Amino acid sequence: MTEVGSGPYSSGMPESVRRRSRRFLRSKWAVLAGIVAVAACLLFVFRGLWLLPFGDFLVYEDRLHRADVIHVIAGEDNRTDHAIQLYKRGLGDRLFFTGGWCENHGYNHGEYGKARAIAQGVPQAAIAFDDSSVISTYMEAEKLRDWIARSATPVRSVIVVSDPFHMRRARWAFKRVLGERIEVQMSPVPFSQTPYHRQWWKDPLSRIYVREEYGKLFYYVLRYQISSGKFRDWLASKDKK
């Protein structure tokens, strides 16, 4: 128990001392508030220096060399068009599409991708697809693995095409599914050919993409690497693209 007259502002303390003590406390909090305000301003002004790496971490790109197959993960036309560009540059022998029926677009990704590639001059013999239903990037990697197992021509290397911010998670999934015997190269669609921006914090669509990708990447590690049993089965019900 504090005795009467022992506190810092007790009646026994001279008034001048009490005033100096109050001024000291006010000045201390003022300095602290000033430091916090300056730090906040600096973080805002130089936000690109610490926000940019969060997005760049998700963007994985290899220095490409010729592969047996270019796999287009289901999505917008820019993915297909980028894969076609890679094929025409001689970086792949065949194009492979997955995705199945898409409610948003109203078509099967494989058939649509094949038609788009043929329209741009890719020979029909150089195109393959699996339009069975998938609900995740991981499942698309499994479809590629199954197709490779059935292929009459040996497949030892793959180039994977998707959006820039999707590449880190896609690489994790494809390398885990295909294993060490298949070389996996990543080729993101250039930002200039997508609606997304490298400075992701300045664009609402890019902000959503980056935020969701970190959540999905954490989910993939938990779902496919760490979890087991009933917990893994429960996680499986939460699979997303």
Phi then psi for residue 16, to 5 deg, are -65, -40
Q: What does pLDDT average to over the chain?
A: 88
pLDDT, tens only, 22-78: 666 667 666 666 666 666 665 555 556 679 999 999 999 999 999 999 999 999 999
Query: What local confidence, expressed as pLDDT, does residue 230 receive?
Result: 86
Residue listed under structure tokens 């997005």:
55
Query: What local confidence, expressed as pLDDT, does residue 115 receive?
Result: 97
| Contact by Cβ (8 Å): 170, 142 | no
Q: With bands split at pLDDT 50, 70 and 90, how would you rate the model's confidence at 2?
A: very low
pLDDT, tens only, 140-161: 999 999 999 999 999 999 999 9
Q: Which CATH class is domain 57-236?
A: alpha beta
pTM of the model: 0.80
Query: What local confidence, expressed as pLDDT, does residue 3 receive?
Result: 47
Query: What local confidence, expressed as pLDDT, does residue 73 receive?
Result: 97
Token output for 77: 């036309």
Number of neighbours of residue 192 by Cβ within 10 angstroms: 7
Query: What local confidence, expressed as pLDDT, does residue 95 receive?
Result: 98
pLDDT, tens only, 69-102: 999 999 999 999 999 999 999 999 999 999 999 8
C-alpha 142/C-alpha 16 separation (Å) is 79
Give residue limits of the domains in the chain.
9-45, 57-236
- How is the chain classified by DSSP, letter by letter? -PPTT-STT-TTS-HHHHHHHHHHHHHHHHHHHHHHHHHHHHHHHTHHHHHHHHHHHH--------EEEEEE-SS-HHHHHHHHHHHHTTSEEEEEEE--EETTTTEEHHHHHHHHHHHTT--GGGEEEE-S---SHHHHHHHHHHHHHH-SS---EEEEEE-GGGHHHHHHHHHHHH-TTSEEEEEEPPGGGSS--SSGGG-HHHHHHHHHHHHHHHHHHIIIII--HHHHHHHHTT---
Sign of CA dihedral 20, 37, 211, 60: negative
